[in-house]
Amino acid sequence: MIDFGHLAGYSGRMQRPATILIIDDDLDVLTAARLLLRRHFARVLVTARPEQIESIMAAEPVDVFLLDMNFAIGRNTGAEGLKWLERILRADPDAVVVLMTAFGDLNTAVSAMRQGAADFVLKPWQNDKLVATLNVAASLRQARTRLTALSALEPAPDLVVASDKMRLLMKLVGRIAATDATVLILGENGTGKELIAREIHRLSARSAKALVAVDLGSIAETLFESELFGHLKGAYTDADKARAGRFQAAHEGSLFLDEIGNLPLALQAKLLRVLETREFTPLGGDRPVSIDVRLIAATNQALEAMVADGRFREDLLYRINTVEITLPPLRERPEDIPALAEHFLARYARKYRQPPKSITKDGYRRLAAHRWPGNVRELSHAVERALIMHEGEDLGPECFEFRQPAAVNEPASLNIHDHERRLVSRALEEAHGNISHAASALGITRAALYRRMEKFGL
């Protein structure tokens, strides 16, 4: 056995500033692993006694645990490894544990991953695979530590989450942010795609660098290369000085390309080439510039349909949608409406230096009954307008006016459920949230209307 007091830290040609703790009762395994890993990691600790794990953790932070699954002679069930895995994770929920197991214990190792292990390696290991596995594990530890630290910070100012749909989506955002994967955000206009892009950047390892946002729909085709890749002085008639492009501005940070579906085919090819090579040549230049950016793109268009129609490159779609996030429209998450309305009400009261106001119960019913074709952006404008235009402390249903969408925009659905919901919503809107008037217009009782409102989430 190796006493804790005799544990040694080994440093060599440091390639990753991480501490690895190896736990195995076979001294030959400990020696072999230590000699290999000290060339790749800043600090390598070893122990043959798993009962020392918690005292080691108390003495100094451990980034990755390399844990054998069996310790007692003759035992090969993996139960001991699972016990120590559970105790490590209880002491440090962000701990990253890689298991060592023989081939026969493979099913147990897979089961252990469901209980929180990050990965496993088979004995005897291949050196390059072991090093690669622990490098990935060290990156995971770094990401988990960062997310834990950031979780205590204030969320993005306008990112208000109340519904289960949005809570699940924000958990996904947290997982995605910890990686460097390219992200495609889908959703209708006004759903908050840029807010989600900013949250991904805020929670990422690139948060200390810039997030550069580009609205591709607003850039003229003739200015695309200059805007994104920059130009040198004299590159064209009006280029009286050199200018860095958006890619250079986002170097080591994140680049958010909004409305990417509006990009013409010719420019799609240029963007694809830059994303594949990670370099570009500014206008007027003759030397390529290397870039390191995390790409986040967004669109309200159906890119798959555009690919089928030949209006969007399939290879570019594959390049930008490593991970897809779809933001639900506001009408599909009515639980968020009261929280968002209160948030906007407080914000605009501060902006216009007005005393605090509140929305009445009937006012909230009016908001809930609306279909919100403009989504969160429309709700923001509706609350701002109501605050400015109406005096008094309370905002009732009469304070919220909405334009009725043209009939041709209504979905041609034959589903009775859809038609009933639209009728109830329309009646509530026309009655300005007055339950008695809406029920009378529908030819049903107030109790029947309340049941339908509950049924449709209104």
Q: Give the pLDDT confidence of 130-162 residue by residue, as tens digits.
A: 998 898 888 878 777 765 555 444 455 567 888
Pairwise CA distance, residues 417 & 405, whole Å: 20
Q: Is 372 helix (H, G, I), strand (E, B) or coil?
A: coil
pLDDT of residue 153: 45
Angle at 357 between CA 356 and CA 358, to 5 degrees: 135
SS3 160: coil
Global pTM reads 0.57
pLDDT at 315: 94
User: What's the pLDDT at 230?
Assistant: 85
Superfamily grouping for domain 4-148: Response regulator (3.40.50.2300)
331-455, CATH topology level: Helicase, Ruva Protein; domain 3 (1.10.8)
- Give the pLDDT score at 232: 83
Lookup: tokens for 165? 């749909």
Task: Give the separation between CA 344 and CA 366, rounded to whole angstroms.
Answer: 16
- Give the Cα separation of 204 and 253 in Å (integer): 9
Low-confidence ranges of the chain (pLDDT < 70): 1-15, 72-76, 103-106, 109-110, 146-158, 235, 237-239, 403-419, 432-434, 446-447, 454, 457-458
pLDDT at 218: 78
* Structure-block tokens of residue 156: 């993005």
Measured from the Cβ of residue 218, the count of other Cβ atoms closer than 10 Å reads 10
- How confident is the model at residue 406, as a pLDDT? 45
Report the alpha-carbon distance of residue 446 to residue 435 in Å, rounded. Answer: 7
* Among 2, 57, 59, residue whose Cα is nearest residue 34: 2
User: Beta-carbon neighbour count of residue 159 at 10 Å?
Assistant: 17
| Torsion angle of C-alpha atoms 219, 221, 223, 228, degrees rounded to 10 | 70
Domain boundaries, the chain: 4-148, 164-328, 331-455
pLDDT of residue 220: 79
> Is 3.90.1330.10 the CATH number for 164-328?
no
AA identity, residue 89 = L
Q: Which two tokens stand for residue 412?
A: 């041609």
Whole-number pLDDT of residue 319? 93
DSSP bridge pairs for 324: 184
159 near 258, Cβ under 8 Å?
A: no
* Same-fold call for 4-148 versus 331-455: no
